[in-house]
Chains A and B, each alone.
Chain A
């Protein structure tokens, strides 16, 4: 039995080493695939929301690479937590013909609950674009 346990442990440790050795190139391959889709034209993106007096102030700040991005389409969706999922409360959208898009909106008369702001940005470079989705931290009222 001791021999069996020792054998199993040595097998697992050997396999673990193989996994570690394999993980690095696999991760690099993964990066190569994803870079094509995301953050090729986008330098940074932020989704911020605050709630005061049952009114949500929502802000999406999307900054493309200034010499590369040409247009940004921002879609904001205010979401409310419902059990373990999120339901959409309202949405806004705006197009900015620039590498910089700062979009602020408000929503009043919120019912009590926990909310977050979902920002979906389509960042264009000529006719090509990438779509990036980010969420704000949650806020409650």
Chain B
């Protein structure tokens, strides 16, 4: 036996004895105290694990994917809003499946009174027309004129109350510019309506006269 082997054997004998003592002294059955944070995490994880959709959100990546999916689905839902909005000058036309709602652009309220302060009238009423109706509220005036089968329906609205519902199947919507005045023209088989905004009130003239005649009526409106 050489010197290295003798030292090796001696070391083994001594260390084995000490190691055995160390092992015997180890507190193997002492319960480990987990931190409160760790316990909370574990409880959370256990609760999540019980959810039926746990496999879909078990990792951060999967959770991110779910958020993206939810975002895309919600965005798609927002695109499926029923009404389509189209702007004709200051007018907004919300188009529904069977009718359109014409309103006035909001955010341009300066100068628009809340009640009818200045009443307008048609100064160039064609011969033979007679007033058949005059209905008014604080914020609107409706006057109707008839001449046998011909009619002229004139309305004056404040901006805040203006909202008209029109058919949109048998009706065409157009724009017409005449000098400085811009008109929304709503036309069907039976008559034509011109709608315009003077900056103070919203006016409409609906008639079965030809369009040139109606335009003349529009241009002839004056303060009473």
Using a CB–CB cutoff of 8 Å, the interface residues on chain A facing chain B are 1-2, 4-5, 8-9, 12-13, 16, 19, 23, 27, 30-31, 34-35, 37-40, 42-46, 48-52, 57-59, 61, 63, 65-68, 100, 102-104, 132, 134, 136-137
A-B contacts at CB below 8 angstroms, number: 124
Residues of B in contact (CB 8 Å), total 47
- Most A CB within 10 A of own CB, among B98, B135, B153, B164: B98
Task: Give complex CA distance A61, B143 in Å.
Answer: 11
Interface positions of B from 132 to 190, Cβ below 8 Å from A: 133, 135-140, 142, 144, 151, 153, 155, 157, 160-161, 163-171, 186, 188-190
User: Which residue of A34, A43, A51 is within 8 Å of B97 (Cβ)?
Assistant: A34
Residues of B within 8 A of A (CB): 59, 61-62, 64-65, 68-69, 72-73, 76, 80, 97-99, 115, 133, 135-140, 142, 144, 151, 153, 155, 157, 160-161, 163-171, 186, 188-191, 193, 206, 208
A70 to B125, CA, bound (A): 27
- Give me 13 A-to-B residue pairs in the complex whose CB atoms sit less than 8 angstroms apart, sorted by A's number: A1-B65, A5-B64, A5-B68, A9-B72, A13-B72, A31-B169, A35-B97, A46-B164, A61-B155, A65-B188, A100-B153, A102-B135, A137-B160
